[in-house]
Amino acid sequence: MDLELHDQLAVVVGGASGIGRAIAEAFAAEGARVALLDIAPTVEATAREIAGQHHTATLGLVADATDFPALQRAARQVEEQLGPVDHLVYAAGMSCHRGGLPFWNQQPSDWPRMLEVNLLGAVNTTFAFVETFVARRQGTILFIGSVAGQIGSQTDPPYSAAKAGLINFSQCAAKDLAPYGVRVNTLNPGMVDTPLNRGVWAGQMKNLPPEERVDFETWGRQKLQRMVPLNRWQTPEDIANMAVFLASPRARNVTGQTVNVDGGFVMHW
C-alpha cells in the first residue's frame, strides 16, 4: 500500500531502538527521509543502518528530550540538513523499574524524572518544532503513549500518570493546531516485548517474596492470558504500521484521537 509519504521528512525522538526505531524504519520503507533523535550514542549508527536498508536520506543526532535548548539546536540542524519537517513522533519513554502495587513501594522522589521524560520531553519536542508546522500549515504529530495512561496502571503509577497527561496534552495540541491543518494523535501500545516492559516485570518481581517470582516469559504469558483478549504480544512493527498510517493522507480526518494497538487490552463499553 502506497501511503503517499515518499520524500517527506519524519523526525522520530527516541528512534535509536525499540518502538521508535521500528517507526523510523517504517517511514523509511515508505520512502520518507528520517531524522532520529535519541540520548543513546548508537543513534547515528542506527540512522546509517536504516539508510543502507531503505536507500533514503537519514540523520542521527544525540539529543536529550528533557533539555529544551538541545532540542531547539537539533531541530535547526535537522532542517538545515534535511529540510522542513512533515511528521514528528515522540517515542522516548522510561519506566521506574522500582515497581508499584501498592504505590507506596515507590517514593515521591521517583516521580519527577518519570514526568520529565514521559510527559515534559514530549512537550519540549512539540515546542521545538511547532513553529515549522504552523508556518507551513501542514503536518502530523504523534505521541507514543501507553494503555497505562488510560487504566491507571498500578504497576508503575508515575509512568501511568505521565502517559495520562500525555494523552491530555495531545488533545490540547490537536485543538490548537487544527486551524493550521496539523493533526495530533496519541498511539498507545499494549504489551510489547521491549526493555521498558522487562523493567516493569523486574520491578514487580522485586516486591514479591522469592517463592512467588517468575521469569519474564511466564509473567508475560500469564498477563496476556489474563488481560489481552487476543492473547498475544504486540510487536514494535505493529505499532509502527499504525504510526505511518496515522501520518498518511489516508488518516486525514483523524486528529485528537487516542488509538490503541493493544490486542484488546483496553476496551470502552
Catalytic residues: 159
> What is the rounded CA–CA span in Å between residue 58 and residue 11?
10
> What is the rounded CA–CA span in Å between residue 16 and residue 24?
9
Distances (CA, A) of 218 to 101, 137, 213, 263: 19, 49, 10, 18
Q: Do 125 and 13 meet the contact criterion of CB atoms below 8 Å apart?
A: yes
> DSSP 3-state assignment of 138?
coil
Q: Do 95 and 159 meet the contact criterion of CB atoms below 8 Å apart?
A: yes
DSSP letter at 31 equals T
* Phi then psi dihedrals of residue 106, to 5 deg: -100, 175
Q: Do 170 and 184 meet the contact criterion of CB atoms below 8 Å apart?
A: yes
N-to-C CA span, the chain: 32
Q: Which residue has the cell 495540541?
A: 173
Q: Do 137 and 181 meet the contact criterion of CB atoms below 8 Å apart?
A: yes
Burial class (CB in 10 A: 0-12, 13-18, 19+), 52: exposed
Residues 141, 14, 227, CA angle at the centre, nearest 5°? 85
Q: How far, in whole angstroms, is CA 92 from its chain's centroid?
A: 6
